[in-house]
């Protein structure tokens, strides 16, 4: 499979496409703002004016957009993927989205004799740039095995989680862990500062111990430098937490830590930080 369509060129999508191009794949791209794709077009990607134009001749179609409503539009909307879907095409949605929507996409793909994998990712802009993303996959296991070599072009920890929707449920677990961990990271730094310590030196001790985490190693240094540009947008993180809380409610599961984090990030949205990275939570303590 050499012909790929990629819909959605955001913070991570751009780096993923770059890895695919370097690996020799033919990549046709579509995103709502063409200027965002300018660098990739110079590097060999082909532009499509519509989703259908990108998808119609592709053997494999990646999507990586913002919200579940965007996923629904891209697949089921007018001039969406399923309008031109054909037998044996494989669609891979890497958006963090609703498990129920992933199941719906898989069912429609099956009706069209296509195949679908939900494959949300974790690792932020750094993981995308380095080709070390964690990829959590749901769908048909044989189809997963078929596309796994391609996922290895930009991913490092690629795990089959189960049937359709399982990848999205796994990503919800990932986001729940991050949500409360980010609170701990911010509070540890603020505590160190108020105790008169050098927070950079404190990080050198605690990041490699039992308190260590991806956020502590990668985002805490950004906080201390005042770098709040997005590796992952606050507005998208809030969306993820809302999906997780809705799923938990259907399971009759109470998640007070997640609810508290959601409330804190909602306040950041109200303060105009929706376009910043999740590490901007540090500002709430300052």
Measure the CA angle with vertex 72, ends 253 and 251; round to 5°: 10
Torsion on CA atoms 97, 98, 102, 103, rounded to nearest 10: 170
Instruction: Name the active-site residue from 56, 171, 239, 276.
Output: 171
- The backbone torsions φ and ψ at residue 134, rounded to the nearest 5 degrees and listed phi first, read -85, 130
| Closest by Cα among 36, 46, 43 to 4 | 46
Q: Is 171 a catalytic residue?
A: yes
Question: Are 121 and 11 spatial neighbours (Cβ–Cβ below 8 Å)?
Answer: no
Q: Is the dihedral of CA 229, 36, 85, 149 positive or negative?
A: negative
148 vs 137: CA distance, rounded Å: 10
| Closest by Cα among 241, 242, 244, 231 to 280 | 231
| Per-residue tokens: 76 | 């089921």
22 vs 17: CA distance, rounded Å: 9
| Closest by Cα among 100, 166, 154, 162 to 123 | 154
130 vs 128: CA distance, rounded Å: 6
Write down the H helix ranges in 112-233.
124-130, 141-151, 166-194, 199-206, 214-218, 220-225
The helix/strand/coil state of 24 is coil
- Residues belonging to the active site: 171
């Amino acid at each position: 499979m050499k012909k790929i369509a990629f819909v959605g060129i955001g913070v991570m999508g751009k780096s993923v496409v770059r890895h695919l191009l370097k690996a020799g794949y033919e990549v046709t791209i579509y995103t709502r703002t063409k200027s965002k794709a300018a660098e990739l077009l110079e590097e060999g990607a082909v532009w499509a004016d519509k989703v259908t134009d990108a998808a119609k001749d592709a053997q494999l179609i990646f999507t990586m957009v913002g919200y579940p409503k965007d996923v629904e539009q891209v697949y089921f909307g007018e001039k969406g993927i399923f309008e031109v879907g054909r037998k044996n095409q494989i669609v891979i949605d890497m958006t963090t989205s609703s498990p129920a929507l992933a199941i719906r996409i898989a069912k429609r793909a099956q009706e069209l004799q296509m195949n679908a994998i939900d494959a949300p990712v974790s690792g932020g802009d750094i993981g995308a740039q380095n080709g070390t993303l964690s990829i959590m996959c749901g769908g048909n296991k044989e189809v997963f095995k078929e596309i796994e070599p391609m996922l290895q072009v930009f991913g490092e920890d690629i795990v089959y989680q189960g049937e359709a929707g399982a990848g999205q449920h796994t990503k919800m677990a990932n986001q729940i862990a991050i949500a409360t961990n980010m609170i701990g990271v911010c509070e540890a730094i603020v505590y160190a500062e108020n105790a008169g310590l050098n927070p950079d030196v404190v990080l050198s001790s605690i990041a490699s111990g039992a308190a260590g985490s991806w956020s502590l190693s990668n985002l805490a240094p950004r906080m201390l430098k005042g770098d709040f540009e997005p590796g992952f947008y606050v507005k998208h993180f809030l969306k993820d937490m809302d999906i997780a809380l809705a799923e938990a409610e259907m399971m009759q599961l109470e998640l007070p830590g997640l609810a508290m984090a959601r409330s804190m990030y909602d306040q950041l949205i109200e303060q105009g930080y929706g376009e910043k990275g999740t590490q901007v939570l540090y500002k709430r303590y300052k």
